[in-house]
Chains A and B, each alone.
Chain A
């Protein structure tokens, strides 16, 4: 009897799919290589400068694909990536060992179902500063800083990209080719986004609108994988 129990226990351990932790690392750069440093001066266009004080965005619904077949998806997948919080730049994924995959996808922002689900916890807690109060809905990406181009008080710019209701739903899918043998490194080039913004005419965007949708569609192209 005891032998049988022992045998069952051992086979149970062997058969259980022990997930391996895979780290998904995010990095924000300015231009091709430089990692963005908060409050540092960067050149924009020919002769203008910017400083970025805050950049955070939601990554949700992380999935792995083998060709066109989805092979893994994370449950309760909501991560707030904040450049001022180094720990948030690394997301730990419980992926089964030996899983074959060559693509990763995730949503940049928060989907509409989650947006209408009431008070949520963890990275979705409204105390994270990523929830609009005057009109319900998550802010998908917050980008704030200063530039000599801005005629606002203290030359600040504030972009809060969000919105979940038609026609101003802004969450977008990011799809990147990955090598499963390598650590997962994803880099976002914020310079490319800055180049799309009109700091003179529109230094602030604080509500769901057509421009937020158009910019979000472009934003997903500024994510790349990199090998380290």
Chain B
């Protein structure tokens, strides 16, 4: 008996040395590659993900407290913005590129249309400090968070320290972004053999594999590379993409290949949002390719699709819509926290 009490005592002492963190397991969908994000350096926990979600929706991040990340990345449109071809910042300023979708980010090594950002953690720094987006300094964001009534408590819960730092702010935002995994579309259920394509979708999938998948590679529907897809230069923007980062002329007009998942809801398309409809995108690929020395190899020969084939291809692309993702309550505005706190 004495021994049991002693053992129990030791157990209690050991236990009290730990603070309980409710860990979140990152689920890698079946047959997907290994994520590139190093979760050991930023282990997911429910409190950290929640903090990241609150930050994502809080306009405090912008200079005049008017714009949040969600302003340009709305959950219902696969975390992009459909009203504007180009991103929209504080004081109605307009940026130079179409806001990209946010999903399956744990598999990406570089971010932005030109890959200027080398790590998910550092991504938020770009829109926060861009003059035409949030136009705020990370130093000021940190001091605003520190002096708020709510955030020091949330940081304490998340990181065991109520001192707000740039590192913890960015890591929390990453945690929320990492949870944005879209893998429950009809396409995914067909791949898992839980449902079947229609004849039209099946034909579209065949065409997709012939014509599109070398760049929009399954299962993420991007090869993560930078490609020139033959768009003419918009002379109001003169955006040469990747070349502006590497200063290498071979990268002229190359942009990062975007995912096609949830493409039904993520219009307008292309880095400058020039196409509103998928049919316009397909017309570009069949008739509009502007040849140049950096055009993607696959586009050096014209893509030929009949009008029926285009319809079938679009039918397939619509199977990439993931309603579980678009209407996931875990991604929604955290009103219990942002509205209830004075």
List chain A positions with a Cβ less than 8 A from chain B. Answer: 115-121, 124-129, 131, 133-137, 165, 168, 209
Contacts and interface: CB of A to CB of B under 8 A. Distances in A.
B122 A119 contact: yes
Interface string B233-269: 0000000000001110000000000000000000000
A115 B174 CA distance: 17
Contacts of A126: 122, 125, 138, 166-167, 170
A129 B122 contact: no
Nearest to B119: A118
B302 to A, nearest CB: 35
Of A124, A128, A131, A135, chain B has the most CB atoms within 10 Å of the CB of: A135
A169 B139 CA distance: 26
B81 interface: no
Interface stretch (B126-134, B215-223, B275-283): B126-134
Interface residues of B, number: 28
A128 B125 CA distance: 13
Given A119-B42, A133-B138, A165-B246, 6 more contacts: A119-B122, A120-B167, A127-B165, A133-B128, A133-B130, A135-B117
B181 to A, nearest CB: 19
Given A117-B119, A118-B121, A135 B139 contact: no
B129 A119 contact: no
Interface in B38-65: 38, 41-42
Contacts of A124: 167
Interface string B103-118: 0000000000000111
B41 A136 contact: no
The 9 closest A-B pairs by CB, nearest first: A118-B121, A127-B166, A119-B121, A119-B170, A136-B118, A133-B129, A121-B167, A135-B116, A126-B166
Contacts of A131: 122, 125
Contacts of B313: none
A125 B170 CA distance: 10
Interface string B128-171: 11100000001100100000000000000000000001111011
A136 B122 contact: yes
Given A118-B121, A133-B126, A136-B116, A125 B41 contact: no
Contacts of A125: 165-167
Contacts of B247: 168, 209
Contact of A136 (B119, B128, B168): B119
A127 B174 contact: no
B125 A118 contact: no
B245 A119 contact: no
A57 B18 CA distance: 39
Nearest to B110: A136
Given A126-B166, A136-B118, A136-B122, A118 B128 contact: no
B303 to A, nearest CB: 33
A31 B258 CA distance: 53
B224 interface: no
B138 A118 contact: no
Contacts of B125: 126, 131, 133
A119 B177 CA distance: 14
8 contacts: A118-B119, A118-B121, A124-B167, A125-B166, A126-B167, A127-B166, A128-B166, A133-B128
A120 B247 CA distance: 27
B138 to A, nearest CB: 5
Contacts of A121: 165, 167-168
B116 A117 contact: no
Given A129-B139, A131-B125, A136-B118, A117 B41 contact: yes
Nearest to A168: B247
A118 B246 CA distance: 20
A118 B42 contact: yes
Contacts of A117: 41, 119
Interface string B18-42: 0000000000000000000010011
